[in-house]
């Protein structure tokens, strides 16, 4: 017997739940492509993305997924043969580096753990050895969605500065922008990128890049530039050039509604909501782990992402849990990828999520653990409720 009917709930780390308000904003006719409505919409979004990235830098919107955003970021600042240092902490920075290698960069991966954040000291040490400054860019993710690691962006910036190294600092914020503090300017990030379908609650299909003055200078010399992604071309005053062709209108209608929701709630409040809900998930997982079959992938609490939690499963196939929550409860969990394939499942808690959604997902997992007789500490959901009761009391 299934109790899955009712609203289906995605607890996957992208795409995430799209708010009804965003869906409704997309349900309208197309506009003439150079109409005032589309020109104004594009301008308002480019301006508000600066607020979301916390930057005065130039912003760009692409009809592309996150991989497109990666390519956009690389192609605008690199030349063939440029050396790039990738700081590994799971799957995603490595994937970005693979893309750079495909495009003709000379890519070095600084090995990292799937269970811990990038070590800023190791970054400083590696950059000090690059006395000729061959390394043109350092690539890192803020949150690695595969490992559930959150990296310390300002600490890595300080490490680059401590080494006196001029490389561009390029940060992937796909699973973190709109989920946790991200301060492009205050932290000295030169190129930041993100995508629509995670913390930003919009349909997949839009990527965002922000580039500061130093990145713009590198752009001037870059020989990997191609017209579709090109910043100079997109900074043209002609509205049509801002999208290098027809604007992805309906995605922009949706994004406008999503960013309105974020700014109405307040960006800091959005971060705080994510932190509280992540705390609830962590409280539940800590309880379940007492049964010895489940455990956190990231042992150090401060290095656990506030948007996604991979949970290691010992001695059984994690699909047993995910199949149950989907088929019996209507909750779709994230399966594990990369090194964790077959060894873990992921609970996403990013974007359009609130207490009942997260408690519902945790409840479905706890049901699965009971129904499938997976050894676990009892009371995970109760621990999550307690964490929220303590942290999320109404403010006067």
Ligand X SMILES: *Cc1c(COP(=O)(O)O)cnc(C)c1O
CB of 77 to ligand X, least distance (A): 18
CA distance 201 to 256: 11
Q: Which residues of 218-242 are buried (b: 16+ CB within 10 A; e: fewer)?
A: bbeebebbeebbbbeebeeeebeeb
CA distance 369 to 387: 21
Among 28-36, 74-82, 167-175, 273-281, which window interacts with ligand X (CB under 6 A)? 167-175
CA distance 174 to 200: 9
Q: 89-108: which residues touch ligand X (CB under 6 A)? A: 92
Rule CB under 6 A: is residue 178 a binding residue for ligand X? Answer: no
Both tokens of 138, joined, read 């350092």
Q: 113-152: which residues touch ligand X (CB under 6 A)? A: 141, 145
CA distance 253 to 233: 23
Both tokens of 258, joined, read 């999503």
Closest CA to 153 of 196, 125, 118, 195: 118
- Of 21, 67, 158, 250, the one binding ligand X (CB under 6 A) is 67
Rule CB under 6 A: is residue 66 a binding residue for ligand X? Answer: yes
Among 61-69, 155-163, 344-352, 356-364, which window interacts with ligand X (CB under 6 A)? 61-69
- Of 12, 42, 59, 65, the one binding ligand X (CB under 6 A) is 65
Both tokens of 263, joined, read 């700014």
Among 114-122, 129-137, 170-178, 361-369, which window interacts with ligand X (CB under 6 A)? 170-178
Rule CB under 6 A: is residue 307 a binding residue for ligand X? Answer: no
Rule CB under 6 A: is residue 14 a binding residue for ligand X? Answer: yes
Rule CB under 6 A: is residue 174 a binding residue for ligand X? Answer: yes
Rule CB under 6 A: is residue 76 a binding residue for ligand X? Answer: no
Both tokens of 36, joined, read 């005032």
**319, 346 Cβ separation under 8 angstroms:** no
CB of 181 to ligand X, least distance (A): 16
Instruction: Summarize as ranges the residues that interact with ligand X (CB under 6 A).
Output: 14, 65-67, 92, 141, 145, 172, 174-175, 195, 204
């Amino acid at each position: 017997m299934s109790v899955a009917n009712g609203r289906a709930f995605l607890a996957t780390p992208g795409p995430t739940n799209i708010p009804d308000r965003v869906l409704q904003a997309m349900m309208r006719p197309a506009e003439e492509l150079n109409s005032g409505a589309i020109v104004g919409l594009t301008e308002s979004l480019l301006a508000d993305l600066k607020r979301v990235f916390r930057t005065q830098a130039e912003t760009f919107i692409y009809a592309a997924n996150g991989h497109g955003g990666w390519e956009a970021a690389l192609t605008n600042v690199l030349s063939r043969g440029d050396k790039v240092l990738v700081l590994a902490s799971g799957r995603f920075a490595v994937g970005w580096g693979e893309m750079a290698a495909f495009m003709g960069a000379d890519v070095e991966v600084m090995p990292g753990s799937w269970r811990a954040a990038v070590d800023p000291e190791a970054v400083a040490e590696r950059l000090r050895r690059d006395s000729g400054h061959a390394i043109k860019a350092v690539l890192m993710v803020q949150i690695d969605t595969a490992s559930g690691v959150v990296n310390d962006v300002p600490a890595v910036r300080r490490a680059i500065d401590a080494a006196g190294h001029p490389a561009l600092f390029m940060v992937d914020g796909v699973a973190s922008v709109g989920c946790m503090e991200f301060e492009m300017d205050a932290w000295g990030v030169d190129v930041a990128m993100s995508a629509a379908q995670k913390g930003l609650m919009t349909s997949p299909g839009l990527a965002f890049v922000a580039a500061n003055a130093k990145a713009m200078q590198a752009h001037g010399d870059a020989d990997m530039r191609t017209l579709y992604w090109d910043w100079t071309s997109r900074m043209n005053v002609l509205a049509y050039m801002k999208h290098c062709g027809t604007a992805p209108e309906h995605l922009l209608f949706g994004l406008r509604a999503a960013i309105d929701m974020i700014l109405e709630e307040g960006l800091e409040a959005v971060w705080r909501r994510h932190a509280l809900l992540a705390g609830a998930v962590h409280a539940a997982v800590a309880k379940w782990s007492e049964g010895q079959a489940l455990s956190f992938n990231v042992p150090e609490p401060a290095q656990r992402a506030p948007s996604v939690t991979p949970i290691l499963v010992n001695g059984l196939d994690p699909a047993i849990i995910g199949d149950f929550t989907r088929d019996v409860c209507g909750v779709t969990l994230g399966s594990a990828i990369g090194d964790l394939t077959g060894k873990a499942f992921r609970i996403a808690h990013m974007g359009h999520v609130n207490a009942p959604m997260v408690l519902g997902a945790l409840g479905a997992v706890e049901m699965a653990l009971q129904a499938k007789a997976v050894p676990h500490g009892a009371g995970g959901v109760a621990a999550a409720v307690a964490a929220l009761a303590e942290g999320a009391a109404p403010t006067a």
